[in-house]
Amino acid sequence: MAVIMGGCQGRPKTPTITEKICPNCGSVIELFSIDTEVACEKCGFVAYNDELSCVQWCEHAKACVGEAMYEHLMKIAAAQKRRRAG
């Protein structure tokens, strides 16, 4: 992930943080903009980062995050798209 933080012009140099409410136990889950997923500290539920957009459109994404991470992020994005559709 060092490439994202140091080299990607589309990402802020300082990560941002968002909070989600765990749908399993109601605790707050903190996600940094560079996290793809975070487990709830209370119950272990895995929350995914909804802001994976640059990986979906950037022509350098695979080289930036690596092939394995790229594939992982694209699977998450596809799952999110399916959930929204329906």
- Token code pair at residue 82: 């399916």
Q: How far is CA 65 from CA 46, 59, 82, 86, in A?
A: 21, 12, 23, 29
Positive/negative CA dihedral, 13, 17, 18, 22: positive
> What is the residue-wise DSSP string for 29-62?
EEEETT-SEEE-TTT-PEEE-S--HHHHH-TTHH
What's the pLDDT score for residue 40? Answer: 94
pLDDT digits (tens, 9 = 90+) for 34-84: 777 889 999 999 887 766 567 777 787 788 778 888 888 888 878 877 877
